[in-house]
Amino acid sequence: MSKKLGALDYHSGGRKGKIEVIATKPCQTAADLSLAYSPGVAEPCLAIQENPDDAYKYTAKGNLVAVVSNGTAVLGLGNLGALAGKPVMEGKGVLFKRFADIDVFDIELDTENPDEIIKACQLLEPTFGGINLEDIKAPECFYIEEELKKTMKIPVFHDDQHGTAIISSAALLNALQLVGKKIEDIRIVVNGAGASANSCAKLAIALGVKPNNMIMCDTKGVIYKGRVEGMNKYKELFAADTHFRTLEEAAKGADVLFGLSAKGAFTAEMIRSMAPNPIIFAMANPDPEITPEEAHGVRGDVIIATGRSDYPNQVNNVLGFPFIFRGALDVRATAINEEMKLAAVHALARLAQEEVPDSVSKAYGNEKFSFGPNYIIPKPFDPRVLLHVAPAIAQAAMNSGVARMPIEDMSKYIEQLESTQGRSKEIMRSIINKAKSDPKKIVFPEGDNEKILRAAQILVEEGIAQPILVGDRKKIQQKMDDLNLDLEVPIVDPTESEHTDDYAQELYHRRQRKGLTLSECQRIMRRKSRVQFSTMMVAQGHADTLLGGIDTHYPETIRPALQVLGKQAGLSSVHGLYMMVFKKDVYFLADTTVTIDPTAEELAETAILAAEKVAMLGVEPRIAMLSFSNFGSVDHPQTRKVKRAVELVKERAPSLIVEGEMQADTAVVPELLDGFTFSKLKTPANVLIFPDLNSGNICYKLLRRLGGAEAIGPILMGMNKPVHVLQRGDDVNDVVNMAAIAVVDVQNA
């Protein structure tokens, strides 16, 4: 139930659904309006009428794909209908945009008549640069794609068929290499006869599998020559001249099992009966035909892949369709043909054999990957996939004669692709995966808050952290019941905890000469302040870090933390850092939350601590110390303070890239920065240190509200033990993000 709630919250939160349309040209003035619409829009219309190819120049057609479905085969859920399938089609659009910067309109057609779907797609050809058919049941999907490929001059691709086939075929080539078998010698059994199975079988034959070594099974058993029951012309293509009649019989001595069927279809006995070094692709979702644990439990020489992200060797279609369309669109291909599919197969297979960069390992919790039985296919978040597959597709389209706009310089094209890859969400995903590699105990003082409870559920399910909820036990349990959360985490009620008296004594020891009596400390621990109680849990080692403040003002969390834990030895203050995530860039701003009017010493501390924290998060820091002056252009006590802070940073951390004092636009605009040739900053800064709290706080809030940045923080720097503060109004995702940062902070403490 909790996973269901999380999924529904994800889709319904904020703007409903997962996609929106964003204008790429300004429309702020009357002049803009006259160009965007009447009368200026007439000019591109007339140009396109005269030369239809100009549609790629003056409209979004060249980067626009239609995801078309009638909802008759939605995921593993069956015929849900066009409307119920819409979330999947929107999700497909998100993946197109995220991985290949391709825009998508999802088109749900309320018909099961294949000829109506064909006609609708044909009528849409002027709008789109390509069509991705999705979740249309077999055998109608075969007929629809065949007819559209015959009649349309833009790429048409049924991902349920070819996407799975391409990814699994790449993995098959690598698995065969590892076990020392030749593709022309193997015997392969395909269990399933739908869209994916049909395409997997065809592509395997195109790669070299001999047709008489291919056995296909459906729910009625082996598809053999002469069989009548449950047959159609598409199954007939794979009817084998064989004495096998059951899947069990076919599996004996087989080298490869391809599962595109249902949970549990492959048994331990089948695996035991296969040839030495068997290869098993159990691709049913969400539950495979056999799990890796079960397969390895039978024999140790198995190489297995599934469709699941929680197992090695995930056959994930996102490794294919975004990049296939990217390459096809960029050369204005008229089709996606067999040559292009094979090019994608070989590009993915080769990439998996290359050394995996640290950035990919970091994205998966610092897990190390190298070509072998548990790594035969690249990871979906490997940014190199775009740079390998899209160029391979483009080249194959040119070689096979379907490219209408060939690429003249492939190396420049690859550079262009690389420039489209932003670093925004990847940083947060990398942080989450780091946290998952070694989860820590986080105490939440506001344990009865709904957002905290929902976030705690996610943290547990994804293995990011070990939440501890502080508060009234009955109230927290009742709230969990009301929210239908099946959440098994420690609940600590200060009124009944065995540690409460010890915490009161320790607080008294620390604050007895600062205005607190023992009885007051006991009252604070039992009734008054869950923040104080939670902070003492961190101080005594009963929790690794604290995350609180969603219900309170910022000082109400940070002040008790400072009183109990204090700042790091040798520091004059603590400091606040915000990560501002834009579409393509990430900036770190400090101090935005704590020190009102810092001295030069405190500014230098802020810069050095920020650099350490940014590096911890996997980003190389480039620091700008901001002012209203550029390198002495104004002589004023405020500018002299910043200038002195820069000198202190350079003295104490000479390896850091730091410059100042400098104006904010100089720090981030390359053209302005280029004017100062003496500057150590040769590329724009990504860490911005503000001269006072006024400017820092105002800036991050404006960027968040008006600049469209996602603000992650505040990340508290300089505490004796890691403590982090939420903001009033933070949502569940904010809590999860900050929890991941808190865990990584503990890991690096």
The residues annotated as belonging to the active site are: 37, 92
Cα separation of 414 and 58, whole Å?
24
Distances (CA, A) of 550 to 17, 82, 298, 351, 725: 26, 40, 50, 45, 8
Closest by CA position to 3, among listed 458, 310, 478: 458
Cα separation of 660 and 662, whole Å?
5
DSSP calls for 663-712? -HHHHH-HHHHTT-TT-S--S--SEEE-SSHHHHHHHHHHHHHTS-PEEE
Cα separation of 64 and 155, whole Å?
11
Examine residue 591 and say whether the peptide bond preceding it is cis (omega within 30 degrees of 0).
Answer: yes
Q: Decide if 376 contacts 315 (C-beta within 8 A).
A: no
Contacts of 341 (CB under 8 A, 6+ apart): 162, 165, 166, 203, 324
* The pair of three-digit structure tokens given for residue 358, joined into one six-digit string: 């640290």
Beta partners for 476?
none
User: Among the residues of 462-529, which ranges form H helices?
Assistant: 473-482, 500-511, 518-523
What are the φ/ψ torsions at residue 577 (nearest 5 degrees)?
A: -125, 135
Beta partners for 68?
107, 133
User: Among the residues of 524-636, which ranges form H helices?
Assistant: 530-539, 554-564, 600-616
Question: In which element (H, E) is residue 258 found?
Answer: strand 256-259
Examine residue 418 and say whether the peptide bond preceding it is cis (omega within 30 degrees of 0).
Answer: no
Classify the C-alpha dihedral 579-580-582-585 as positive or negative: negative
Closest by CA position to 147, among listed 113, 114, 174, 170: 114
Cα separation of 545 and 41, whole Å?
58
Pairing, β 214-218 against β 221-222: antiparallel
User: Among the residues of 289-366, which ranges form H helices?
Assistant: 292-298, 321-330, 338-352, 358-363
Q: Decide if 693 contacts 591 (C-beta within 8 A).
A: yes
Q: Report the SS3 class of residue 506.
A: helix
Distances (CA, A) of 270 to 189, 294, 295: 11, 12, 10
Classify the C-alpha dihedral 292-298-303-307 as positive or negative: negative
Closest by CA position to 620, among listed 674, 679, 686: 686
Examine residue 139 and say whether the peptide bond preceding it is cis (omega within 30 degrees of 0).
Answer: yes
Beta partners for 375?
372
Cα separation of 731 and 726, whole Å?
10
Q: Decide if 135 contacts 88 (C-beta within 8 A).
A: yes
Q: Decide if 103 contacts 65 (C-beta within 8 A).
A: yes
For the chain, give the longest Cα–Cα distance: 95
Question: In which element (H, E) is residue 418 found?
Answer: helix 410-419
Q: Decide if 533 contacts 503 (C-beta within 8 A).
A: yes
- Quick one: 654 exposed, middle or buried, by C-beta within 10 A (0-12, 13-18, 19+)? exposed
